[in-house]
Structure 1
Amino acid sequence: MTEGDINFWDSLETLGHELLDREREIVQKRQPATEKAKTPTSENGESGSRGQVLRAIERLTETMIVALSKEQSPVLTYKDRRNSSNVSFDEDFGVVPSDTIAVKTVDFSAIKSTTRFARTLQVLAISYRLVQTNTYSTKRDVFYNNTKLFGSQRVLDTIVDDIACMLNVPRHSLHILATSKGCVAGDLTLVDSDGSFLDCSVASGGTMVPAHVQHITNLHSNAKFVLVVEKDATFQKLLDDGFCRKLAPCIMVTGKGVPDLNTRMLVHKLWKAFHIPVFALVDADPHGMEIMCTYKYGSMALSHEFHSLTVPTLKWLGVLPSDIRRLCIQEDVLLPMNDSDRAKARELLEKPFLSAEPLWKRELEEFLTRDRKAEIQSLISISPTFLTDVYIPNKIKFGGWI
């Protein structure tokens, strides 16, 4: 091991100790905050146990039957997941439920609501049967079993999320799962929910994130850090360049763009299990920054599941807007900001979490000042292996994260 290698791992160890202290503070605060969210938990601490989900659906069904017996129109009421007044920002947890409860209603007597009412009841019936028999189905299978009723996959996805929020349980507790799209690679082994052993270091293109992340067990790793990569193309490029071997031991994860629930849950689980630094590598544009914020702070639509999705200590490794200037990346590989980029940048500047990240805010403002953005792949213009051999190792070694 060279002196440079020693300095590299020393940097990580120092950061790891700092983050561990920070994590202890967060964990101490997380328990009362989780209780405040009032998410049902089983005796072993797992939120949304089978019995509780069944009882919640039964209570909801009973209220509808009672309404019909009184010749009243049944009404479904659920928290409006898109209403900003229903969430607040906490520096230790991210986007969390607030005390305000703005709701939406689906009234069977309203002609415009009858289709949505029928769709919701159908999903409730499917979920009840799945939970009762302890079996699972994918959202895709549910959709294709009744395409005429649901119309589109997006409609079904929204209904499943709304029901989870209505019953105040994690989405996976409904036993209707989304197919995972993320991948993981590096020094990580685990046992999947079906008892199969997965070694994430052997698959050449990475291992698919399990569909039942909440039920994986026996996680083992000697990794010193986790690298969350925005795009699959960059993830594959790093694998091809031997990233996981050259910077071993480490773990690399990609959500292939906007991360799905399972990928976010896995990153959280790795952070919680191993207490190691988690870095984000995203495009130097506002949309890449928004994706990184989703991993770190969560999202408004799934704020009720913040306790299993966020990584508050995540660090932005790159590509920073200031890196574009510092590395003198050629102008011909940069891209001009478009209206969507500028609007997204201004939207992010208004987010409350930017007040907790002044360095992030400064980088975001540089987007608007320079009116230029860059993809991660732009670093290849310097050298084909610049990202793996120079950029990331030196960023970690010299503390180039924010």
Structure 2
Amino acid sequence: MEFGEAQFFTKIDELRAYLLNKVVGLSDEDEEISSRKILDCIENVILQVVTSLSQDEAPVLVLPNRASWDNVRFDSAIGLQMSSTRAAMTIRSSCPKSATTFSQILKILSVIYTLVQSNSYATKRDIYYNHPQLFGSQRTVDRIVDDVSCMLKVPRRSLRVLATSKGLISGDLCYTEEDGTRIDCHSNSAAVAVSSNIAGIRNVVSSAKFVLVVEKDATFQRLLHDDFCTKISPCIMITGKGFPDVNSRLMVRKLWDVLHVPVFTLVDADPHGIEIMCIYKYGSVAMSFEAHSLTIPSVMWLGILPSDLQRLQVPRDALIPLSKRDENKLNSLLKRPYVAEQPEWLKEMELMQKNKHKAEIQSLAAIGPDFLTSIYLPNKLRYGGWL
């Protein structure tokens, strides 16, 4: 028996039991329609597996390749959207290299099936620590949950699997969590962790004039310390602490949907910062199957712009030469389909490419310790007519 095959047959037995329970309960009209659809999707996958077994064939699972641009098209109103499954991965139960992955996918399907049936939730961390030998790492669980969501064509939040958020939020905002907890984000001394269940948020109350997405936690904390959200104008600040997690992106989208206010990004003047802004605005290839709920096409690039470095005469010792990796990332960004939709962005990226240097948000401190909070951001917002 190949490695992983024993786990595979164990999962088949478990899922057969779940299928039997489902058949018994089909007449329950209290079950939510969305839950029915999810259970039906899982049952269809398992039916294919069982059918293969009954025909003495090694079962396979076919997953859309979430890393391939061949599966993605650009829509200016949505962003990067999965439009096909031409590029796919075949996970074979009979192949030693993929048998473990096959078992892992079945286990995730088993967990999701139970959660949906019982209308309960689990975190990805819970799933990993309940089966550490099967998954090996938390990252494996994270990847497979997203793969399953894409395969089933069901939003991850509907699978009842939650992710621990890394983002923080602060400002003129109050809302109620699904469990009834009232969250107040007004404090200027401590931020609130972004919710792990954005879909459950309700009763959002805010007088914010805009949302400011901040790339780095250090900059976020500085703005929080300077009481930026009340000194300038009522606003909401959020940070994903670098490359944003899905919950941070969902939260920004939720605020945009509910409050109908402008969303600005404050990122480093480097290729990495530009990519982070693009992810909030247009999404990523890996999560393109959930573009409708994650992207905010109206997002605006507030700063720091490469042209700002020249205009403000930021000291040269505060600038950093582009590395080879930076240049490669910049060249990649210039080829993205959405750049043609943003000629001003193209000019900024070409300027960075020409000058061959980058700068962090903190570089503005070389002009003055409070330049970012007291001068740069207020002037940017006033110039744009947002204050």
TM-score (norm 1): 0.86
Q: Tell me the secondary structure at the aligned position of residue 175 of structure 2.
A: strand
Q: Does 1:204 align with 2:175?
A: no
Question: What CA deviation, in whole Å up to 9, does each residue of 1:342-393 have, x standing for no partner?
Answer: 1100000000100000110111111111111110011111111111111001
Q: Which amino acid aligns with 2:241?
A: K
Q: Tell me the secondary structure at the aligned position of residue 140 of structure 1.
A: helix
Partner of 2:330 in structure 1?
345
Q: Does 1:262 align with 2:266?
A: no
Which one of the candidate residues 116, 120, 123 is aligned to 2:105? 120
Deviation at 1:84, TM superposition (A): 0.7
Which is further off, 118-127 or 291-300? 118-127
Q: Which amino acid aligns with 2:75?
A: D
Partner of 1:315 in structure 2?
300
Question: What CA deviation, in whole Å up to 9, does each residue of 1:210-240 have, x standing for no partner?
Answer: 1000110011111111100000110000010
Which is further off, 96-105 or 176-185? 96-105
Partner of 2:367 in structure 1?
382
Report the count of equivalent residues: 355
Which one of the candidate residues 276, 281, 290 is aligned to 2:261? 276
Deviation at 1:102, TM superposition (A): 2.2
8 Å contact from structure 1 (residues 48, 169) kept in 2: no
Partner of 1:236 in structure 2?
221
Partner of 2:40 in structure 1?
55
Question: What CA deviation, in whole Å up to 9, does each residue of 1:48-71 have, x standing for no partner?
Answer: 922211111111111111111111
8 Å contact from structure 1 (residues 213, 266) kept in 2: yes
Q: Does 1:399 align with 2:384?
A: yes
Q: Does 1:355 align with 2:326?
A: no
Alignment of 1:3-402 (within 5 A): 49-99=34-84, 101-202=86-187, 204-399=189-384
Question: In the aligned structure 2, how far is the partner of 1:233 from the partner of 1:156?
Answer: 29
The structure with higher relative contact order (CA 8 Å, sep 6+) is 1
8 Å contact from structure 1 (residues 335, 374) kept in 2: yes
Q: Tell me the secondary structure at the aligned position of residue 68 of structure 1.
A: helix
TM-score (norm 2): 0.89
Question: In the aligned structure 2, how far is the partner of 1:397 from the partner of 1:243?
Answer: 15
Question: In the aligned structure 1, how far is the partner of 2:206 from the partner of 2:230?
Answer: 14
Question: In the aligned structure 1, how far is the partner of 2:358 from the partner of 2:97?
Answer: 44
Question: In the aligned structure 1, how far is the partner of 2:188 from the partner of 2:262?
Answer: 24
In the alignment, structure 1 segments of 5+ residues that lack a partner are 1-46
Question: What CA deviation, in whole Å up to 9, does each residue of 1:238-277 have, x standing for no partner?
Answer: 0101101112311111110001101101101111111111
Which aligned segments of 4 or more residues in structure 1 are displaced greater than 4 angstroms?
Answer: none
Question: In the aligned structure 2, how far is the partner of 1:305 from the partner of 1:99?
Answer: 13
8 Å contact from structure 2 (residues 65, 85) kept in 1: no
Q: Which amino acid aligns with 1:328?
A: Q
Q: Tell me the secondary structure at the aligned position of residue 98 of structure 2.
A: helix
Question: In the aligned structure 1, how far is the partner of 2:35 from the partner of 2:129?
Answer: 25
Question: In the aligned structure 2, how far is the partner of 1:400 from the partner of 1:366?
Answer: 26
In the alignment, structure 2 segments of 5+ residues that lack a partner are 1-31
Q: Which amino acid aligns with 2:280?
A: Y
Which is further off, 90-99 or 310-319? 90-99
8 Å contact from structure 2 (residues 104, 134) kept in 1: yes
